[in-house]
Chain A
Amino acid sequence: MARVELRNVTKLFGGVRAVDNVNLQTTEGEFLVLLGPSGCGKTTLLRMIAGIEPPTSGDIIINEQIVTHQPPRVRNIAMVFQSYALYPHMTVFKNIAFPLRTRGVAKAAIKEKVAWAAGMFGISSLLDRKPRELSGGERQRVALARAIVREPSVFLLDEPLSNLDAILRASAREELRQFQKRLGVTTVYVTHDQVEAMGLGDRIVVMNKGRVCQIGTPPEIYQWPADTFVATFVGSPPMNLIEQGELLIGFRPETLLPAVFVRDCGEMVTYPFEVTWIEYLGAERLVYGNIGEKCCSRHVVSRLPGNINLAIETGKTYPFTVARQDMRSFDRSTGLLIGRDPV
């Protein structure tokens, strides 16, 4: 177990600031997720922690030691690449054994360790196969087994689930979280998928354009987004933002509900909601439409759970309400959250 700390880390590629003055610190055994759109610098940040990419400035500290200019092998980290990067000419056994052989572990010990790691991911029967003979899910397990086999103090994962199909991804997510809890290894996980981030992370670091926008637990990020970028990037559909003078008022789609269905608990704001489009998704309905007066930003979404079977038609206007405690206000020019009190 270890702590990873980044101090004022910046990375320039030519004139482009891929990572811009990032500061963050994990706690021991934490599962930290770096979340952001592609090109936001999250993978570059991970590669700098791994030691594959040197930072232009700033320091990387693992286990209280500055490792900024040290090669990967002395950092005691393991990394799972998006492509898994399995060695195609080696069997599964040799793939998993590789990090042990580079450390000069004795043959008998290698056998024992590989068996342990393979058993952990249920791939003991695949040890004689080559990577090309494995399915996507099996390859991912081999990559994970290769990463844990030498019991690293930090575990780095670069979108390891993105090559799996949707069903496999959900079960892999659950397994990943359970095994991380079991091993208790500090983990930094990169993803652009906010569902993955919310489901896996103890804390989430939301990044955009090389900068950290917000660090917080999944409920904090979801409920109290630090700015309009986080508000619209996290959550699907994203947070509704409507203009109100110098402010942008934000509320989540599931908090905008037909007035007839809301029991009056606390202060409510009611809007006339002109329905333009309805999407039926089985467990829920997404109702798109416009609220308030005609201005540029008044298009919103309401997410109705399946048990609200109110007949709604496009083209008609219905009264919809939001509880005031669910509303957030953002500065229109900077996009930053104003206060942490409800509007």
Chain B
Amino acid sequence: MTGDTRSGAAGVRDRADLLARFMIMPAIVYIAAMIGFPFVLAILYSLSDATTGDPTLRLVGLRNYKDILADPVFRTSLKNTFVFALVSQSLVIVLSRVLATALMAEFRGKWIARFLIMLPWTAPISLGTIGWLWMFDSIFSPIDWILRRFGLLGVPGALLGPMQNLYWLGEPLLAMASVVIVHVWRLLPLATVIQLAGLSSIPKDLLEAAEVDGARAWRRTLEITIPLTLPIISIAFLFGLVFTFTDMTVVYVLTRGGPIHMTQVLSTWTFFKGIEGGDLAQGAAVSLFMFPVLAGIAALVLRVARRTEVV
């Protein structure tokens, strides 16, 4: 049989696999150049004795890791990183569920409420944190002012003490609370949007069926809504955890890790040690310490998300 083979055969332009490779290429190049290269460099640095003054690579094995593990500031930073991430994300998950549930209902001025809730996400984190810096000011804090107005502070016998100010960023516990508050403020909008998506993906039929089956609101929430949105809650939790783990802006702007390293986290300690202190090698080792932790968390939460997938 003879025929025009050109019109019948699949040309290069018909090959979907080539197109797919072509379209994924920019992402791969980007990841390799912007993440892969610095990552490999960080591993090399962490195994060397490089400093900002002398960045030549002389490998010294695992000495840097041993040194940082022996450093009490590192151990405090590690603990703080976990405390900040877990406490703030637990609060974010609860509060975002409350907000998302409220936003599911129809009410007047819903769009303005939604806009206001989204606002912190649109502000640059450093600017937002500078705003909070003033809120937590040791003398001019408006929070303290409100507490004084309500008689909770600044008079003898007041609930929070007779002093005029709480010194938010000066007291270890309050400083930690301040960092957590700013993290919660910052990540609440994203988590709310994610939870809103989760809530609106539940078929209305299911909740109505539960209502007909005699379930009151609390049982519908506990037995239908929460189990069905668990995958998406884990996604929100993972996102928030990674954001909090890797963020250094909030601590750097608010407390610089103080008082006496009480709010130091791994990311700020990396910066202080590696850049400001000039010890590139130890800085790299500190920063790499977060990597297996984050990879582990990501794998774990994705596994949970897959297991609870229901449809």
Residue positions of A touching B, CB distance < 8 A: 47, 50-52, 71-73, 77-79, 81-83, 85, 87-89, 98-99, 102-103, 130, 132, 146, 150
Contact = CB atoms under 8 A, between A and B. Distances in A.
19 contacts: A47-B208, A50-B212, A51-B211, A51-B212, A52-B211, A71-B211, A72-B211, A73-B211, A78-B212, A81-B209, A85-B209, A88-B310, A89-B310, A98-B210, A98-B213, A102-B214, A102-B216, A130-B310, A146-B213
B66 interface: no
B205 interface: yes
A77 to B, nearest CB: 7
A150 B224 CA distance: 20
A87 B206 contact: yes
B311 interface: yes
B36 interface: no
Lowest 4 CB-CB distances: which A-B pairs, in order?
A85-B209, A102-B214, A85-B205, A99-B213
B227 A102 contact: no
A99 B224 contact: no
Nearest to A158: B205
A99 B213 CA distance: 5
A89 B225 CA distance: 10
A146 B208 CA distance: 14
A72 B203 contact: no
Contacts of A99: 213-214
B228 interface: yes
A50 B205 CA distance: 13
B211 A85 contact: no
A83 B205 contact: yes
B160 interface: no
B219 interface: yes
A52 B224 contact: no
A51 B308 CA distance: 32
Interface of B: 203, 205-206, 208-216, 219, 223-224, 227-228, 308, 310-311
Given A73-B214, A73-B216, A87-B224, A79 B310 contact: no
Contacts of B311: 88, 132
Most buried by A among B205, B212, B219, B224: B212
Contacts of A98: 210, 213, 215, 223
Contacts of A146: 213
Nearest to A102: B214
B304 to A, nearest CB: 14
Contacts of B210: 87, 98
Given A81-B205, A85-B203, A102-B219, A132 B310 contact: yes
Contacts of B216: 73, 102
Given A50-B212, A71-B211, A81-B205, 13 more contacts: A51-B211, A73-B212, A73-B213, A73-B214, A81-B208, A83-B203, A85-B209, A88-B310, A89-B227, A98-B223, A99-B214, A130-B310, A132-B311
Contacts of A73: 211-216
B272 to A, nearest CB: 47
A98 B228 CA distance: 16
Contacts of A88: 206, 228, 310-311
A77 B310 CA distance: 28
Contacts of A78: 212-213
A83 B205 CA distance: 8
A212 B13 CA distance: 61
Q: Counting chain B CB atoms within 10 Å of each CB, which of A52, A103, A146 scores highest?
A: A52
B201 to A, nearest CB: 12
Contacts of B209: 79, 81, 85, 87
Contacts of B205: 81-83, 85
Contact of A102 (B203, B213, B310): B213
Contacts of A72: 211-212, 214
Contacts of B212: 50-52, 72-73, 77-79
A87 B210 CA distance: 9
A73 to B, nearest CB: 4
Given A88-B311, A102-B219, A52 B213 contact: no
Nearest to B224: A87
A98 B250 CA distance: 47
B55 to A, nearest CB: 54
Contacts of B215: 73, 98, 102
A88 B203 CA distance: 11
A51 to B, nearest CB: 8
A72, A103, A132, most chain B CB atoms within 10 A: A72
